[in-house]
Chain A
Amino acid sequence: MKALEIIEREHVKMGLPQFKGGDTVRVHVKIKEGEKERIQVFEGLVIRKRKGGMGASFTARKVSYGVGVERIFPINSPIIDKVEVVQRGRVRRSRLYYIRDLKGKAARIKEKKKS
């Protein structure tokens, strides 16, 4: 299985900040429009992070004009330019699916106090 690791290591991205479920992130995504390439920012709450080396991914959720939008990003994808952590959230579980059923004030997540 060593050979598989060699191939996967090539694609695993280094230098992304540490974040986990409950954090709010700004994901800079490269978008190709014909010849031009521009960067679009998706800001949202991380509700899930999946491990798995090269196949790792996370889901970010935001509410846009009253409609919940979730986007799944493969962490090692070359279309991700960078990820900024806006806020660290204090949560008691790693996968925040319950947030989908909440709205308004109830859907807020408290900021983690610096220890």
Chain B
Amino acid sequence: MMLGLIGRKIGMTQVFSDEGEIVPVTVIEAGPCTVVTKKTDEKNGYKAIQVGFGNQKESRIGLPLRGQFKKASLPPCQVLKEFRIDDVEAYDVGQKITVEVFSVGEKVSITGNSKGRGFAGVVKRWGFWGGPGTHGAMFHRAPGSIGASADPSRVLKGKKLPGHYGNARITVRNLEIVDIKTEQNLLLVKGSVPGGKRGIIMVKKLK
């Protein structure tokens, strides 16, 4: 894993490229993130920095975490995430990481929680075609046959069937950064990003 930022999805819009082409972009409010804890080989067995994003009332945070913020003498954050990096020494507790760590044209990977769809059928969940809606058809959105007969006498493992869909951790890689607004802490990323508006996402540098 590489250095990244925690952010919030704002929404999607379009911008024009220099050639006059329309580029679909997702606007992300990324950072500034505060370094809350440093994890080291000696103490924790791995190297990482723990960063926080957003403000939170102290009363909304559990006592153990409240102690951690007190130790770092920082105001409580809404979200805490760790990024495993090698040069932990380069960062100090309390240091702010902003969108300036990224550059325009860079490719990033974005992790977030996808929108929950509840218990979904095979057409939505797996993209089955389904049957015709009318003309006397009696087969609409059902999965159809799910296997053979006496041989093998069971449904094969991994068969695509209805079930819970969405609300899962999804990572999208190789998304291009189209623009960066440093004053407003905004990133414009080409294409779509998992989750709904105001959802918390992680923007990570690629290796």
B16 and A4 form a contact (CB under 8 A): no
Q: Which of A3, A11, A78 is in CB contact (< 8 Å) with B184?
A: A3
- A91 interfacial contact with B, CB 8 Å: no
Closest to B17 in A: A78
Chain B residues with CB under 8 Å of chain A are 10-11, 13-16, 18-20, 22, 27, 29, 179, 181, 184, 186, 188
Chain A residues with CB under 8 Å of chain B are 1, 3-4, 6-8, 11, 30, 32, 54-55, 74, 76-79
Closest to B8 in A: A3
Closest to A52 in B: B14
Q: 4 additional contacts, CB 8 Å, given A3-B29, A54-B14, A74-B22?
A: A3-B184, A4-B10, A55-B13, A76-B16
B20 and A7 form a contact (CB under 8 A): no
Q: Which of A4, A30, A74, A76 is in CB contact (< 8 Å) with B11?
A: A4
- A59 CB to nearest chain B CB (Å): 16
13 A-B pairs in the complex with CB atoms less than 8 angstroms apart: A1-B11, A3-B186, A6-B181, A6-B184, A7-B179, A7-B186, A7-B188, A30-B20, A32-B19, A55-B13, A76-B16, A78-B18, A79-B20
